[in-house]
A and B are shown apart, each in its own frame.
Chain A
Amino acid sequence: MPNPVLMAQAIGIAAFLAVIISWSLGRSGVSGGAVGVGLGVFAGAWVLGLTPQVPPRGALDRLQLILIPAIVLTEVVITSRTWWVGWVLRATVAVLAAPLLVYGSSYVTDLSGPGSREWTTGIAAAIFTSLAAVLMLVWILLTQLATQASRSATIAVAITAAGTAVTMMLSGYATGGQLGLPLAAAVGVIAFSDSRHASGAVAVAIVTLFSLLVIGRLFAGLTTLHAVGLFATPLLACVPDLPQLRQWGPRTRATLRVVLTAVPVVLVLWLAQQKFAEDSGPSSEGSSNATFSDYLDYSK
């Protein structure tokens, strides 16, 4: 079961690496935020025992071995090329992300005999197109926000990543969900680093967050409501930038961004906890049924 000491270590090493790398690459013009978050997630995964298998055997392996390096590379290229090259690369990653995650699964492959795949070609195409469009939309809006309000934007994404981690752990994917914790730590510390790193850090975090939610929904027990709610949450950080609210001071708007993100994340966490308790059987006072915190405390 989840080991709180390992989780704390994963959070610590991810945050440390993200800060050190973004600081080291700060003057080189390379997106230190993207590289820092990417390596921070890898280091956290290593601490948590989630090091990917080669060749990849599951969606989490493909996320770590292909998708995260691809987006880090994209963000590095973006800083040294014209803007349209960067967006073509980002669009490519967005289009390929979901198909890569479900590759070889029973959704798109006849694993149990001819015609056994769960999605027809048409349905798969519609789902992949929708997911790519949603990912691209959130990616554009959040990276745009990160260039204007780097600190509150990265904090909003970090809160969502942390909420995603715990929600996934409550939704039947106890180990995979933990990857959201080093992600939250890595992108969270970028908030207090050089603002130039925020856009790349947010880009890597959004794609990783998207991937975790897709994995949680399609391969574990994460509900569609919780997955959609969590991925849409960082968009609320854009609300204070609406024309009607722009007259408010920057500090007020920054606070509002964080609060608007935190409230729905807490709500989703509460709903996930309720579902966990319901699915775990009757739970009354004095019940011997283990709670989520019991599992967290077990290895102490």
Chain B
Amino acid sequence: MTARLFGFVLVTAMTVTPTLRADDYTLEASHAAVTFKISHVGLSWTHGRFKDLSGTFTIDPGNPAATRFDIAAKVDSVDTDNAKRDEHLRSPDFFNAKQYPNLTFKSTSAKPVKGGYEVTGVLTLNGMKKQITIIVTGGKTAEFPKGVQRTGYSTEFKIKRSEFGMDKMLEMIGDDVFISASFEGTRN
């Protein structure tokens, strides 16, 4: 009798309690942006973006440690609205796009914080890897268009380009690069 009662309670609990399952998302490039700004001669900020983005991410509310982000940008797609400057940015003076064509962030751990996650991962830039920790906020969900579940996140962080081997022209073009990323993903 006790065993039957226990089984009933267990089945009822499993049925009634909402399931917190992991959802896999594919980054939607048309609603994603990775932009940056960098100081020019200490006078103003030059803004740029990467036009070619891709990635996947997994959100697991029940097990935040399983949440992961895997985002990539083709450095060849850098765009600062000046063809000559973009050409220079692709050269070995900066991104060395033909030698190291991808900029990637792969998370290694995540823990929930207010409004999102604190994500630690490896940023690969100019062929050099460095562990960074960023705060990713967002997580609202929507069904748009009908039948397509989506969510979105945003983050802002700063890196020193010299730590990634991009150490040319530091006297004119700042070492600190402020990066802003915002992206939506559609659930697989």
Contact = CB atoms under 8 A, between A and B. Distances in A.
Interface of A: 1, 53, 57-60, 104-107, 111-112, 171-176, 215, 218-221, 276, 279-281, 298-299
Contacts of A111: 100-102
A279 B93 contact: no
A219 B87 contact: no
A281 B98 contact: no
B52 to A, nearest CB: 10
B84 interface: yes
Nearest to B93: A175
B148 interface: no
B186 interface: no
A176 B91 contact: yes
A172 B93 CA distance: 8
Contacts of A220: 87, 90-93
Interface of B: 74, 82-84, 87-88, 90-93, 96-102, 127, 165, 168-169, 171-172
A106 B99 contact: yes
B5 to A, nearest CB: 56
A57 B127 contact: yes
A107 B82 contact: no
Nearest to B81: A281
Contacts of A281: 82-84
Contacts of B97: 106
Nearest to B165: A57
Which 10 A-B residue pairs are closest in the complex by CB-CB distance? A279-B84, A220-B91, A172-B87, A221-B87, A280-B84, A172-B88, A173-B91, A172-B91, A279-B83, A106-B101
B169 A1 contact: yes
A280 B82 contact: yes
B93 A105 contact: no
B96 to A, nearest CB: 6
24 contacts: A57-B99, A57-B165, A105-B99, A106-B97, A107-B98, A112-B101, A172-B87, A172-B88, A172-B90, A174-B169, A175-B93, A219-B91, A219-B96, A219-B98, A219-B99, A221-B87, A221-B90, A221-B91, A279-B83, A279-B87, A280-B82, A280-B84, A281-B84, A299-B171
A171 B169 CA distance: 16
B78 to A, nearest CB: 12
Nearest to B127: A57
A220 B169 CA distance: 16
A173 B95 CA distance: 11
A24 to B, nearest CB: 34
B74 A112 contact: yes
B46 to A, nearest CB: 13
Contacts of A175: 92-93, 168-169
Nearest to A168: B91
B101 A58 contact: no
A58 B169 contact: no
Contacts of B91: 172-174, 176, 219-221
Contacts of A173: 88, 91-93
A107 B82 CA distance: 25
Most buried by A among B97, B101, B171: B101
A272 B168 CA distance: 22
A291 B88 CA distance: 15
A178 B93 CA distance: 12
A276 B88 CA distance: 11
B84 A276 contact: yes
Contacts of A172: 84, 87-88, 90-91, 93
Contacts of A105: 98-99
A221 to B, nearest CB: 4
Given A175-B168, A219-B92, A220-B91, A106 B98 contact: yes
Nearest to B128: A57
A211 to B, nearest CB: 13
A175 B169 CA distance: 9
Contacts of B165: 53, 57
Most buried by B among A112, A172, A279, A281: A172
B92 A218 contact: no
A175 B93 CA distance: 7
B169 A59 contact: no
Contacts of A280: 82-84
Contacts of B87: 171-172, 220-221, 279
